[in-house]
Structure 1
Amino acid sequence: MAAVFRQEEAGPLCPECAGLNFAYRCPACGAMGRLLHGQCPRCRALQELDETFAGPDGQRSSQLAPLAEVLEQYEQPYSLVLYLRRPGGQLIRAMASGDLECSHEALDAQTASVHHLRGLLVLAEVLEPREEQLAQFKRDIKVCLDEVTDPHDKTVLARYARWHLMPLAHHHLERSGLNRFQREHLRRKLQTAHVLLTHIRRRGTTLDSVTQTLVDRWLIANKSRQNQARSFLLWAATCHLIPQNVAIATAIRTVDRSIMSDADRILTALRLETDESEHITDRVAGCLVLQYGLRTDRLVNLTIDQFLVHPEEPGVLGLQLGRDPLWLRPRLSALLQRLINERRPLAAPLRTRETPYLFPGLRPDQPMTSATLQRRLTRLGIPSTSKARNGAWLAMVGAVHWKMLADLLGLADGTAHNWHKLNGGDRASYVASRLKASQAPKGPE
């Protein structure tokens, strides 16, 4: 029976009676199916690719040829066509035509779709790899210094950035990599120093003659900047730029000790272990947070080298987080093995590339961001990863000695011992306090 094209008074009208002919065969490859602008999706995507990478001579740009080969690996042709028509494809057209230089510096001046395109260019070896967060921090410094009008203040801020903030950035980079949150923290330190210097300048004084009263009054209106300003003043005092008697106290930070109840935590972990409708990545991450209290920033940096196979119990996997291996429950071990076998980068053209990370990001050489993983866990019914971690730690320190827990999870001894005391495990101090209270003083103390 022919399909109905239009309803009329005499009855339904088929496409042939209406004088319309629909084609379902691609004129380029002869494939049958839905056509996109007169071609099958695959042929249309290849044509869009040729048009996007066409240079001034009408041929594919030889410089960007490796990038074109990477994009040809898109599993879904519709996704490739859509990407080439968006800002990322427009930047590629500008590079192929010569209007935009193919370099990191040229991409830094752009705003839309730069991060993803830069990653593809590095992966295709068109651009040299670089530490992106460190490069972004250098741009933050330049932007901040361009806003300073006073030459003396600009010199002080430049010295502060070069001799104090940049070494901190390199220290983070050498330890575990400079992430976006650490870069933003350093940028706020520099911006706070700028705000404080501007305030001092507007009060008709200079940095070498600033008083404690002026700093205290500034803190009243800028309480949230207290720790960042303290870092700058300590550095300035070390360099003998301010009087030695000017200081800012450390802001007292309250730690969130709210927990997820054991019932909700255990039931949610049990559901994630058995619910096949959820993505395997979210299930494994959620179980590790709920059962072992792992932080999401540590989870996303886990690699295959940190996973162990139990030598005596088949099917049991472990994590090398600290000094001693942490062996997982059999059901969670099975989920972990599935994730190891099925993990793929998030970017469509890179799904076939190998990645060392358990939770890969858009590119094979980078993990998923901690914020992305936290959002995905929230959709699973975990109200807060911090509450889930607090509940797990509080339960574990009640069953395992705090020192053993620190060695298994790679925690600092002080952190594990603090949770041990919060759980009421430090009974010796309680007994000592009762004994001291029961002894009446015999003379002046």
Structure 2
Amino acid sequence: MKNLVASHMTAEGRKILYRYATWHLLRRLRRRSRGKEVTHYQLAFAQQHLRAAVCLLDWLENENLTLATCHQADLERWMTSEDVRHRRETGRFVRWLLTQKITRDLSFPAVRWNGPTQAMDDDARWASARRLLHDDTLKPQVRLTGLLFLLYAQWPAAISRLTVDHIEETDGAVRIRLGAVPVELPAPVAELALQHVAVRRSHAVLARTASPWLFPGGQPDRPISAWAMGERLRKLGIRLAQARSTALFQLATELPAAVLARTLGIDITVAVKWQRAAAGD
């Protein structure tokens, strides 16, 4: 982020960007990570918002404008130009400027998300799930990763942070803790999960390094990165955003919002929105 801040042309602009990065983006990042390691996607998200702020300030400089002299008409001229980049992300920067009273004459309303608007291909999702259930040429860890994503709508960042202890076998049932309430896995997925846990524990004994991670990375004490996990799914032909939306949409038709939030580990407000979008009761 320091390089992005330093890339702006003026000292005043760099000062504002530093405040925005330190007191808004980084604080928000730490709050959302809840003390855990920041993922690749979370960092990329923050960098994109900072890059949007740099683009706007660079445009103002090229137009011989400042935040003090820029008016709504100037902002709208930039918003509708063909060269504009990161239009949506810039809105967060403009609204932050208003809260900090750095500017008073600009407006950039937020757009509230009300659920999915495009059709989702559930057939493609199930076709991918069937392949992962039955294709023995794929590694068990790859199959398990894809099934957790397709069936339980878990982002790569969430899957990468799972440990061996998140999977438990009691009274003949295999459960996985994705949220506050464990989810019982159906037989084919349960077999894959137990197979992978057994391999992980055997590897830990042989390596004499007790790595707790269900999907370890290149270093024993670190899990696989969310980016590498996402690449693993993309190589299977899975479109991440669309497939997860489809999974959430289907689950929201079957589960109450409170149960959806507790079992999948998602925020209750997100679960409510998905249930409304799916017309769930």
1:194 corresponding residue in structure 2: 54
Matching of residues 292-371 of structure 1 within 5 Å: 292-310=152-170, 313-314=171-172, 316-343=173-200, 353-371=209-227
SS at match of 1:343: helix
Distance 1:392 1:203, change over 3 A: closer
Distance 2:218 2:177 in 1: 25
2:133 corresponding residue in structure 1: 273
Matched, 1:403 2:263: no
Q: Deviations over 1:114-166 (max 9, x none)?
A: xxxxxxxxxxxxxxxxxxxxxxxxxx31x234333433223333333333333
SS at match of 1:208: coil
Distance 2:221 2:143 in 1: 23
- Displacement of 1:288: 2.0
Q: Which runs of 5+ in 1 are unaligned?
A: 1-139, 427-445
Retained in 2: the 8 A contact 1:321–1:409?
A: yes
Retained in 2: the 8 A contact 1:258–1:387?
A: no
Distance 1:256 1:319, change over 3 A: farther
Distance 1:146 1:370, change over 3 A: closer
Distance 1:192 1:398 in 2: 37
Distance 1:385 1:208, change over 3 A: closer
Q: Which runs of 5+ in 2 are unaligned?
A: none
Retained in 1: the 8 A contact 2:8–2:57?
A: no
Distance 1:145 1:405 in 2: 40
1:237 corresponding residue in structure 2: 98
Distance 1:198 1:394 in 2: 40
- Displacement of 1:336: 0.7
Distance 1:386 1:256, change over 3 A: farther
Matching of residues 147-162 of structure 1 within 5 Å: 147-162=7-22
Matching of residues 78-227 of structure 1 within 5 Å: 140-141=1-2, 143-221=3-81, 223-227=84-88
Distance 2:97 2:278 in 1: 42
- Displacement of 1:352: 5.9
Retained in 1: the 8 A contact 2:167–2:193?
A: no
2:122 corresponding residue in structure 1: 261
Retained in 2: the 8 A contact 1:394–1:419?
A: yes
Distance 1:152 1:370, change over 3 A: closer
Distance 1:266 1:220, change over 3 A: closer
Distance 1:169 1:270 in 2: 36
Give the letter aligned to residue 98 of structure 2: A
Retained in 2: the 8 A contact 1:260–1:390?
A: no
2:231 corresponding residue in structure 1: 375
Distance 1:377 1:256, change over 3 A: farther
Distance 2:30 2:141 in 1: 31
Retained in 1: the 8 A contact 2:144–2:192?
A: yes
SS at match of 1:240: coil
- Greater radius of gyration (CA): 1
Distance 1:393 1:169 in 2: 24
Retained in 2: the 8 A contact 1:257–1:390?
A: no
Give the letter aligned to residue 261 of structure 1: D
Distance 1:387 1:205 in 2: 40
Retained in 2: the 8 A contact 1:359–1:367?
A: yes
Across the aligned residues of Structure 1 and Structure 2, the Cα RMSD in angstroms comes to 3.1
Give the letter aligned to residue 372 of structure 1: A
Distance 1:265 1:203 in 2: 48
Q: Alignment identity in percent? A: 23
- Displacement of 1:265: 4.1
- Displacement of 1:325: 1.4
Alignment match of 2:273 (pick from 395, 400, 418): 418
Distance 1:171 1:281 in 2: 31
Deviates more, 1:330-339 or 1:393-402: 393-402
Give the letter aligned to residue 418 of structure 1: K
Number of residue pairs matched? 276
Distance 1:159 1:297, change over 3 A: closer
Distance 1:352 1:270, change over 3 A: farther
SS at match of 2:68: helix
Q: Deviations over 1:374-403 (max 9, x none)?
A: 3333444x5424443344334434444343
Deviates more, 1:328-337 or 1:247-256: 247-256
Give the letter aligned to residue 336 of structure 1: A
Distance 1:402 1:189, change over 3 A: closer
The structure with the greater share of residues assigned to helix is: 2
1:78 corresponding residue in structure 2: none
Q: Deviations over 1:196-229 (max 9, x none)?
A: 2233233334322321111111212254423332
Q: Deviations over 1:16-40 (max 9, x none)?
A: xxxxxxxxxxxxxxxxxxxxxxxxx
Distance 2:224 2:43 in 1: 17
Matched, 1:290 2:150: yes
SS at match of 2:107: coil
- Displacement of 1:328: 0.9
